[in-house]
Amino acid sequence: MRNSKIVAIGHHVPENIITNQYLSTVMDTNNDWIVERTGINERRWMDPSKDTVANMAAKATRMALERAKLTEKDIDFIVFATITPDYFFPGSGVLLQRELGLESIGALDIRNACSGFIYALSVADQFIKTGMYKTILVVGAEIQSTALDITTRGRNTAVIFGDGAGAVILQPSDKPGILSTHLHSDGRFAEELYVKDPGSSRPHQERQPEQITDTSTFKVVMNGNQVFKHAVVRFMEVINEALEANNLSKEDINLLVPHQANLRISQYIQEKLALSNDQVYNNIMRYGNTTAASIPIALSEAWAEGKIKENDLICLAAFGSGFTWASALIRW
Ligand code: UT7
């Protein structure tokens, strides 16, 4: 069987910077609380006059293509991870395919929230390894700011989430690239972090906006403590699972790129794995939690800063809504 390798990475974030200071003018919150509990200083929120999930994804893709001296025409399949598509349907993959001017290639959407990018990478990895496709575009992109309750009632989520996009290109390779991916879920906790509507399983009358009084409607609802407690356990489990599957140990990791959920979660994992500050890449301070986009944005920035070198062992790990959690080990 062939190997698959990440040959390019890119990202794009909206220009519109939302500071903690700004949020404290529109809800009862403050910079100290946000920094202390989450590590976030600012995040990007979309500008409705320019940003869509698909066009941010296209900009991230073009950065990746340029860095690898590839063109749109080289792409023969798209896997698009998002929980905030531009339309309820069709999916974002087809909108990106149109945006890139590609004709008739397959496009698949993945809806696994914060773990979505690793799920998408895993799907693409299998397609490359079996020889079905040669150049797969894997994207994580989200516009979450429009589903946040930007009032004191929604402050536990409004201060955390941000918008952005990241993209990688996968191709076959002689040498190992993606060593393994590990995917998990536990739907018993689905409602601990979710957006209820537009859901389909209630009668039409109950789904009319004027009938909907539940505060969860159209907005992100999160039981932060519960999510946090599960996250720290599952992150460690799934990283150890990946290391064991490859007969490697935590000492072999050159760079951990965790999903940017909360700086305290990243620091907890860093301590458990006894990694130095240089061995864990965090950018949550600048972008908040961008769900499926967080890992590819972080990978793209880490690569641009020279923190990822040939032959390095890179570990990706994520946990989020579902619950879902996942990891990937990559020999760069
Ligand atoms: O992407 C993957 C999924 N997401 C995560 O992994 C997130 C996991 N959870 C978290 O990151 C944290 O639980 C939060 C950052 C969301 C919250 O931090 P916390 O330390 O768990 O705080 P808390 O929810 O226990 O709230 C503590 C207090 C509460 O006030 P009382 O009841 O103690 O008076 C909240 O009402 O902080 C209050 N609070 C706020 N205060 C100021 C909640 N949000 C805010 C806010 N500003 N934005």
**Tokens linked to 168:** 């990688």
Q: DSSP character for 38?
A: H
The Cα 59–Cα 70 span in angstroms is 14
What distance in angstroms lies between residue 4's CA and the mean position of ligand 1's atoms? 40
The Cα 268–Cα 234 span in angstroms is 12
Residue 307 neighbours by CB under 8 Å, 6+ apart: 255, 278, 281
Answer yes or no: 315 catalytic: no
Percent of the chain with pLDDT over 90: 90
Average pLDDT over residues 163-167: 98
Question: Which pLDDT value is given to residue 213?
Answer: 59
User: Are residues 211 and 169 both part of a single domain?
Assistant: no
What distance in angstroms lies between residue 215's CA and the mean position of ligand 1's atoms? 18
> 113, 146, 175: which is the final residue of a domain?
175
Average pLDDT over residues 83-93: 96
Least confident of 42-46, 70-74, 221-225, 260-264: 221-225
The Cα 41–Cα 18 span in angstroms is 9
The Cα 184–Cα 325 span in angstroms is 5
Question: Which pLDDT value is given to residue 192?
Answer: 96
Question: Which pLDDT value is given to residue 73?
Answer: 96
Average pLDDT over residues 78-101: 97
pLDDT digits 0-9 by tens, 206-242? 777 666 655 555 688 899 999 999 999 999 999 999 9
Average pLDDT over residues 19-25: 98
User: Are residues 296 and 310 both part of a single domain?
Assistant: yes
Return the CATH number at 298. Answer: 3.40.47.10
User: Are residues 219 and 131 both part of a single domain?
Assistant: no
From 20, 156, 262, 289, the catalytic residue: 289
Least confident of 65-74, 210-219, 244-253, 315-324: 210-219
The Cα 183–Cα 325 span in angstroms is 6
Closest to 253 (Cα-Cα) out of 234, 228, 281: 281
What is the residue-wise DSSP string for 65-102? Answer: HHHTT--GGG--EEEEE-SS-SSSSS-HHHHHHHHTT-
What distance in angstroms lies between residue 249's CA and the mean position of ligand 1's atoms? 33
Answer yes or no: 259 catalytic: yes
From 12, 20, 112, 114, the catalytic residue: 114
Show the ligand 1 pocket: residues with CB < 6 angstroms: 29, 33, 37-38, 114, 155-156, 159-160, 193, 224-225, 227-228, 231, 261-262, 265, 289, 319-320
User: Are residues 108 and 223 both part of a single domain?
Assistant: no
Q: Whats the size of the chain, residue-wise?
A: 332
Domain hosting 251: range is 180-331
Question: Which pLDDT value is given to residue 257?
Answer: 98
> 151, 175, 199: which is the final residue of a domain?
175
User: Are residues 205 and 274 both part of a single domain?
Assistant: yes
What distance in angstroms lies between residue 274's CA and the mean position of ligand 1's atoms? 26
Q: How confident is the model at residue 202 (pLDDT cuts 50, 70, 90)?
A: confident
Specify whether the CB–CB gap between 29 and 154 falls below 8 A.
Answer: no
Q: DSSP character for 148?
A: S
Higher pLDDT, 165 or 207: 165
What distance in angstroms lies between residue 156's CA and the mean position of ligand 1's atoms? 5
Output the residue whose Cα is nearest ligand 1's atom 11: 262
Which residue among 156, 229, 232, 287 is best mutated to probe the pocket of ligand 1, counting the most ligand atoms within 8 A of its Cβ? 156
Element (DSSP H or E) covering residue 193: strand 193-194
Q: Which atom of ligand 1 is nearest to the CA of 193?
A: 3
Place of tokens 């972008």: 287
User: Are residues 171 and 189 both part of a single domain?
Assistant: no
Q: Which atom of ligand 1 is nearest to the CA of 38?
A: 15
Mean pLDDT value across the chain: 95
What distance in angstroms lies between residue 224's CA and the mean position of ligand 1's atoms? 6
pLDDT digits 0-9 by tens, 274-306? 999 999 999 999 999 999 999 999 999 999 999
User: Are residues 196 and 164 both part of a single domain?
Assistant: no
CA angle at 26 for the pair 23 and 32, rounded to the nearest 5°: 40
The Cα 137–Cα 238 span in angstroms is 25
pLDDT digits 0-9 by tens, 47-82? 999 999 999 999 999 999 999 999 999 999 999 999
Closest to 139 (Cα-Cα) out of 116, 161, 166, 107: 166
From 11, 182, 230, 259, the catalytic residue: 259
Question: Which pLDDT value is given to residue 24?
Answer: 98
> 155, 175, 195: which is the final residue of a domain?
175
Average pLDDT over residues 309-325: 97
User: Are residues 225 and 136 both part of a single domain?
Assistant: no
CA distances from 167 to 51, 79, 157, 213, 296 (A): 16, 10, 25, 38, 6
The Cα 34–Cα 14 span in angstroms is 21
Question: Which pLDDT value is given to residue 14?
Answer: 98
Question: Which pLDDT value is given to residue 218?
Answer: 63
Which residue among 37, 229, 260 is best mutated to probe the pocket of ligand 1, counting the most ligand atoms within 8 A of its Cβ? 37
User: Are residues 17 and 139 both part of a single domain?
Assistant: yes
Q: What is the number of alpha carbons within 13 Å of residue 73 lying toward its C-beta?
A: 0
Average pLDDT over residues 11-15: 98
Question: Which pLDDT value is given to residue 133?
Answer: 98
Place of tokens 């076959």: 172
**Tokens linked to 141:** 């992109």
Q: Is the pLDDT of residue 193 over 70?
A: yes
Question: Which pLDDT value is given to residue 198?
Answer: 79
Place of tokens 């989430």: 161
| Runs of H (alpha helix) within the chain | 20-26, 31-38, 53-67, 92-99, 116-129, 155-158, 224-245, 263-272, 284-287, 294-304
Question: Which pLDDT value is given to residue 204?
Answer: 77
User: Are residues 133 and 216 both part of a single domain?
Assistant: no
Paired sense of beta strands 3-12 and 17-19, if any: unpaired
User: Are residues 203 and 170 both part of a single domain?
Assistant: no
User: Are residues 151 and 222 both part of a single domain?
Assistant: no
